[in-house]
Amino acid sequence: MAERLAVKKTYKLYVGGKFPRSESGRSYEVTDAKGGLLANAAWASRKDARDAVVAARKALPGWSGATAYNRGQVLYRVAEVMEGRHAQFVNEVAAGEGLARGKASALVDEAIDRWVWYAGWADKIAQVVGSSNPVAGPYFDFSVPEPTGVVAVLAPQRSSLLGLVSVLAPVIVGGNTAVLLASADRPLPAITLSEVLATSDVPGGVVNILTGTLADTAPILAAHMDVNAVDLTGAAGDAEQARELELAAADNLKRVVRAPEAEPDWIAEPGLERITAYLEIKTVWHPVGV
C-alpha cells in the first residue's frame, strides 16, 4: 500500500472574516526553536493592512452596538472553541517557543482561562468605570464608557499565544474592533486563533489578523487616519522602532499604549488597565422628570 501524503496547510491572512492570500503574493518561512521548517506564512503588505482597517471599521457599528452581555457570550464561545483545539495550540506553542509539552500545555490553559476572564468583564466594566454623578440641579448626570474605535495591536513577539490573548481580548471586550499584527517568528498560534474566531460567533471584521514583519505593516497602521488607537507592545525592547511608531501615531492624536522596555510577564494576573485604555468616557445630562 502506497504511503499517504499529508495534506499541507496553506497559511493565509484573516481579514473581514475571510482568509485571503497576501496581496503581495509573498510568504516567508516559519521555523521552530531549533531552526526546522514549520510552515510558509503569508507576508502581509501595506495594502493588506489598509484592507484590514476597512474591514475593522465596517464591523465597528455592529460590534459596539451589541449589548455587553451578548459580547460576553460571544467571547466565551471563543474560549469553548479554543478548548477544542487545545492539542493543536500546544503543538504550535511548544514548537515555536521551544518548550516541553507540559509547559506549553500550561500556557495554553492559561491563555484560554485569560480569554474567559476578559469575557466575564464585558457586562461589568461599565459598572466599575462608569458612574452616576451628583449635581446641584434638577438633572441626572451619568458617565458611561464607550469604545474608542479601531485599534491596531502589535502582538508580543515572544509569547505566541498567552501574550497575544492578553493584548487582543481586552480590546474587543469593550466594543472596539482590532487589526492585530502577529508575532513574526511565532505566528502559527495566531493563525489558528483566526480559525477559532471564524468558526465561533465573532462577526467578520471584528478581529483581523496579519502575519509578516512589523516593518512592513506597523508604520502604516500607526499613521492610518482611520485607526483610533495603537498598542505597541510588540515593539518591546526596540526603543527606536517604538519611537518612530509613536511619532506616526501623533499625526492624528491616536491613543497609544506604549511599548514596554521588555516584554511583560504574561503569567501575572491581569488588571483592567488594558480594557480601560481603549474606552472613552461620555457624560450625559438629562432633566429630572422628563
- Name the grid cell of 250: 501623533
- C-alpha–C-alpha distance, residues 184 and 214, integer Å: 7
With b meaning 16 or more CB within 10 Å and e meaning fewer, what string describes 171-195? bbbbbbbbbbbbbbebbbbbbbbbe
With 0-12 CB in 10 A as exposed, 13-18 as middle and 19+ as buried, what is 235? buried
Under CATH, domain 38-287 is a member of which superfamily? Aldehyde Dehydrogenase; Chain A, domain 1 (3.40.605.10)
3-state helix, strand, coil in the chain (%, to 5): 45, 20, 40
- C-alpha–C-alpha distance, residues 277 and 124, integer Å: 16
- C-alpha–C-alpha distance, residues 115 and 78, integer Å: 8
Q: Amino acid letter at 94?
A: A
Can you say how many angstroms the Cα of residue 32 is from the centroid of all Cα atoms in its chain? 23
Residues 206, 178 contacting (CB under 8 angstroms): yes
- C-alpha–C-alpha distance, residues 58 and 165, integer Å: 23
Give the residue ranges of the chain where pLDDT is below 70. Answer: 1, 290
